[in-house]
Amino acid sequence: MAPKHQAPRGTRDLLPDELDRWQWAEARAREVLARYGYREIRTPMFEDYELFTRTSGEASEVVQKEMYRFTDLGKRELALRPENTAGVCRAYIEHGLGGRARIHRLWYLGPMFRYGRPQKGRYRQFQQAGAELIGTPAPGADVEMISLFVDLFEAWGFRDLVVAMNSVGTPASRRTYGDALRAWLAPARSRLSADSQRRLEVNPLRVLDSRDDADLALFHDDALGTMPRMLDHLDVESRVHWDAVLAGLETLAIRCEVDHGLVRGLDYYTRTAFELHDRSLGAQSALGGGGRYDGLIEELGGPPTPGVGFSIGLDRVLMVLEQRGEGAPVPAGSVFVVAMDATRVEATRLTHELRREFAVEQDIESRGFGAQMKSAGKSGARVALILGEDEWQRGEVGLKDLATGEQRTVARDALAQYLRGMLGSAAEPAAGRGA
């Protein structure tokens, strides 16, 4: 029988076993972000609904179909954030960050919410890690972003990455391209899905985002000739920018591949757009994506300020790592204290003391020696400390290496030092495989 209460559709619980891998991945991400000089920013999980319609775009799938929109008791129109670039830019303006320093390197990690149809790799609450570099239009910023993006995946054990790239130009060059796309699709207009016909009017680039099979077949229909390409409609500056970004990536030996159909699902992009896919995930194959958004901060009422960034879908990354059996942390070296009736009080004191430095477990139910040893074996601990009455009175502790089965006695005074040599300090993060 199904339990009375279940997690809402499209959400899930992450249980401790799974979270070991999540924490490992998040710790690796924090290390890489710190090495690049990025600093964390935390913004609210809900914002004014209008913030997202202005930035993601009225015609985007996210705004049209996926918003968790609600009115609060004060009659404010709000929405759970479907993404975090808009929130970060809102905070950038609200706190006048532009006046404090010219360039800001920011990162975030947290849940986003989209009311999509749940399927493999697609949730209604999902976790993103993202970074934004705000304040410079230089192509070097795009290159730094893409290099950070790739380095994060490498820190999680991904290899041989190829980043899909395109330029979506400026709003003006996009209009020219939109006209070309509309003219190209004109003979087949009635065969397009209803959604695409509507998008062709409002925002023709969105048509390239269609997942409709008939639409996709049309794009490859020989009768229409070759689809016009955004790169052929770029304004001069966007072209120069594009060439400089590609040259920068080449210098760093970052592999990329031009994808003429890549337009991104949100409307705020200008110039560079990029994504990384993993086909093993099926239809929801995008592991992450981003691009430049030079008009976004101005659109929100701030001073003209360029920016570039990306977000990575951690649920999908973790899914790939799990499929590959990678990224599981080696359990931190830990200790299990086993007491006799006569040494229970001392065992509690010793556990308390050792916990300042090591991960220590102890029986709290006053069970017998055998039951405690069994628990020690199951616990994953590396060492059992056995507080036999006689040894303890002699100032010694029995120590069993649970990995090798070896036993010895160690002087009580030298115990911490001995454990340090064996386990390292618990303050050190557990080493991970696949890094």
Binding residues (CB under 6 A) for ligand HAM: these are 83-85, 114, 116, 121-123, 126, 128, 130, 132, 265-266, 286-291, 293, 309-311, 313, 315-316
Shortest gap between Cβ of 244 and ligand HAM (angstroms)?
Answer: 19
Shortest gap between Cβ of 340 and ligand HAM (angstroms)?
Answer: 52
Nearer to ligand HAM, 150 or 350 (CB): 150
Q: Could you give the residue ranges of the DSSP H alpha helices within 163-212?
A: 171-185, 194-202
Shortest gap between Cβ of 90 and ligand HAM (angstroms)?
Answer: 13
Task: Tell me what percent of the chain is helix, strand and coil, each rounded to the nearest 5.
Answer: 45, 20, 35
Shortest gap between Cβ of 35 and ligand HAM (angstroms)?
Answer: 20
Best CA proximity match to 45, nearest among 82, 83, 81: 81
Best CA proximity match to 350, nearest among 399, 304, 317: 399
Nearer to ligand HAM, 266 or 399 (CB): 266
CA 222 remoteness from chain centre: 39
Shortest gap between Cβ of 33 and ligand HAM (angstroms)?
Answer: 14
Q: Is 272 helix (H, G, I), strand (E, B) or coil?
A: strand
The CA distance from 379 to 32, in Å, is: 32
The CA distance from 395 to 391, in Å, is: 6
Nearer to ligand HAM, 21 or 316 (CB): 316
Nearer to ligand HAM, 321 or 426 (CB): 321
The CA distance from 192 to 180, in Å, is: 16
CA distances in angstroms from 265 to 62, 64, 219, 249, 347, listed in the order given? 8, 12, 18, 24, 59
Question: In sequence order, which residues have a C-beta less than 8 Å from that of residue 269 and are 6 or more positions away?
Answer: 168, 263, 291, 292, 293
Shortest gap between Cβ of 88 and ligand HAM (angstroms)?
Answer: 8
Shortest gap between Cβ of 284 and ligand HAM (angstroms)?
Answer: 7
Nearer to ligand HAM, 122 or 382 (CB): 122
Indicate the helix (H) or strand (E) that contains 339. Answer: strand 334-339
**What residue type is assigned to position 419 of the chain?**
L
Q: What is the DSSP letter of 290?
A: E
Nearer to ligand HAM, 105 or 382 (CB): 105
Best CA proximity match to 327, nearest among 13, 22, 121: 22
The CA distance from 267 to 86, in Å, is: 11
Q: Is 164 helix (H, G, I), strand (E, B) or coil?
A: strand
Give residue number: closest CB to ligand HAM. Answer: 313
Nearer to ligand HAM, 104 or 316 (CB): 316
The CA distance from 91 to 97, in Å, is: 8
Nearer to ligand HAM, 88 or 399 (CB): 88
Shortest gap between Cβ of 260 and ligand HAM (angstroms)?
Answer: 18
Shortest gap between Cβ of 10 and ligand HAM (angstroms)?
Answer: 8
Nearer to ligand HAM, 143 or 354 (CB): 143
